[in-house]
């Protein structure tokens, strides 16, 4: 105790130095690949392999790369991005609604087997996507949905982790408010839509963001389900182009530029929803 009181400033300084150093190392670790992709998107195929990855090219051609990216193969990249927006946007929206309703129901209602049901949902969080990809294929194949956009959309509309988050954030809805709404004659559906849902908006945005990013980055499910290039998301489409790099080295540049554009979409979404996401995370950390 004497040592702590004798050198409080020194202990605090070393603690700050250690924390700041760890954060700087983590920032460099995560930002370095992003910087490489952005810089590489400005290079020609020759400069891409002929110069250091983090050095700018003497003759940058970002506009040319973007022009060819959006026009190559009859604007296939535009189609892939549109498919990814459809899969991620619609899938995340429906998953958010279902997860919020399910989490709210488990948190606010008492019924037989509630905790067992919630434990089963939590078990779904632990199951890797690789394990359920093949069963999903056979299940959707029995109803002739394999090869269609629904084969990717339907599995994306379910989020066990979203249900978990929604149950935690349902604590932000006071039971007294729900009881008051019932006394006023409101039905359970109206209470959820007009009373509970507005209070859970930070949680809903958090679930939407997590699910959107998960679907956008998903590669295995579209690979198993889809066969037509017109239905490919951007992840599968860029992989297709990457397989053609031996035939035409310029596809290296197209893949890198396409990855940069795809990254910009996610960064823009993250920045646009940042304040809601922070609020949702704070609520989940402070509410029981």
Q: Does residue 3 surpass a pLDDT of 60?
A: no
pLDDT tens digits, 25-84: 998 898 888 888 888 888 888 777 766 767 777 778 889 999 999 999 999 999 999 999
pTM of the model: 0.84
Least confident among 37-51, 223-237, 273-287: 273-287
Domains and CATH numbers, the chain: 62-286 (1.10.3720.10)
pLDDT of residue 56: 76
Q: pLDDT: is 249 or 141 the higher one?
A: 141
Instruction: Quickly list DSSP for the chain.
Output: -HHHHHSHHHHHHHHHHHHHHHHHHHHHHHHHHHHHHHHHTTS-HHHHHHS-TTSPPSS--HHHHHHHHHHHHHHHHHHHHHHHHHHHHHHHHHHHHHHHHHHHHHHH---TTHHHHHHHHHHHHHS-HHHHHHHHHHHHHTTT-TTSTHHHHHHHT--HHHHHHHHHHGGGS-HHHHHHHHHTT--HHHHIIIIIHHHTHHHHHHHHHHHHHHHHT--HHHHHH---GGG--HHHHHHHHHTTTTT-THHHHHHHHHHHHHHHHHHHHHHHTHHHHHHHHHHHHH--
pLDDT of residue 262: 92
């Amino acid at each position: 105790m004497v040592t702590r009181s004798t050198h409080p400033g020194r202990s605090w300084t070393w603690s700050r130095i250690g924390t700041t150093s760890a954060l700087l190392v983590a920032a460099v670790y995560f930002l370095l690949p992003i910087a490489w992709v952005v810089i590489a998107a400005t290079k020609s195929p020759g400069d891409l392999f002929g110069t250091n990855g983090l050095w700018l090219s003497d003759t940058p051609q970002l506009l040319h790369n973007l022009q060819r990216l959006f026009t190559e193969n009859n604007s296939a990249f535009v189609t892939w991005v549109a498919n990814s927006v459809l899969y991620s946007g619609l899938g995340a929206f429906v998953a958010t609604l279902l997860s919020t309703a399910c989490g709210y129901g488990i948190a606010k209602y008492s019924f037989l087997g509630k905790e067992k049901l919630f434990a089963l949902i939590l078990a779904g969080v632990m199951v890797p996507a690789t394990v359920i990809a093949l069963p999903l294929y056979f299940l959707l194949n029995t109803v002739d949905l394999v090869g269609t956009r629904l084969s990717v959309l339907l599995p994306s509309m379910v989020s066990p982790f979203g249900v978990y988050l929604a149950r935690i954030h349902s604590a932000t809805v006071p039971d007294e408010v729900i009881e008051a709404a019932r006394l006023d004659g409101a039905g359970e559906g109206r209470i959820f839509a007009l009373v509970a849902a507005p209070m859970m908006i930070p949680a809903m945005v958090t679930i939407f963001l997590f699910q959107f990013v998960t679907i956008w980055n998903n590669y295995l499910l579209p690979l198993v389900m889809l066969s037509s290039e017109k239905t490919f998301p951007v992840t599968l489409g860029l992989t297709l182009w990457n397989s053609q790099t031996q035939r035409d080295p310029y596809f290296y540049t197209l893949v890198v530029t396409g990855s940069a554009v795809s990254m910009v979409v996610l960064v823009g979404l993250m920045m646009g929803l940042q304040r809601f996401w922070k609020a949702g995370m704070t609520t989940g950390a402070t509410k029981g």
